[in-house]
């Protein structure tokens, strides 16, 4: 109220709600695609796994619980040349392919990841 006058404001948020729902639907479709792909995928931040899809876990033999939050280099070949190559690739582009060997949890074999 201002003096004897009442000021009302009305905002139609229908478009905002439709946009939010469309974004949620798009995110769900993307998540389903990534979760069901035949390619192993992971996301890292500051060198640590923040997401791994089920196929990546199948390929590596490590579970998501074992990988998430851990440093990616904890699971790679300990050869200094491999580590240096990975660091250089990350420095150049962050998503560039790097040739390295990934240690498997229960065997002496290693999987080559490009």
**pLDDT tens-digit map of 26-81:** 999 998 998 998 988 988 888 899 999 999 999 889 999 999 999 988 887 777 77
Please report, rounded to a whole number, the percentage of residues in the chain having pLDDT higher than 70.
Answer: 80
Q: Is the pTM of this model over 0.85?
A: no
Which long-range contacts does 62-71 make (Cβ < 8 Å, 24+ apart)? Answer: 62/104, 62/105, 66/105, 67/42, 71/47
């Amino acid at each position: 109220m201002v003096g004897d006058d009442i000021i009302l404001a009305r905002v139609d948020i229908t478009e905002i709600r439709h946009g939010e729902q469309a974004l949620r639907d798009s995110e769900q479709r993307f998540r389903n695609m990534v979760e069901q792909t035949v390619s192993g995928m992971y996301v890292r931040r500051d060198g640590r796994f923040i997401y791994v899809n089920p196929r990546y876990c199948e390929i590596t033999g490590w579970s998501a619980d074992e990988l998430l939050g851990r440093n990616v280099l904890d699971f790679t070949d300990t050869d200094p040349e491999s580590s240096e190559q990975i660091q250089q690739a990350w420095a150049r582009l962050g998503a560039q392919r790097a040739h390295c060997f990934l240690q498997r949890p229960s065997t002496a074999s290693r999987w080559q990841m490009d």
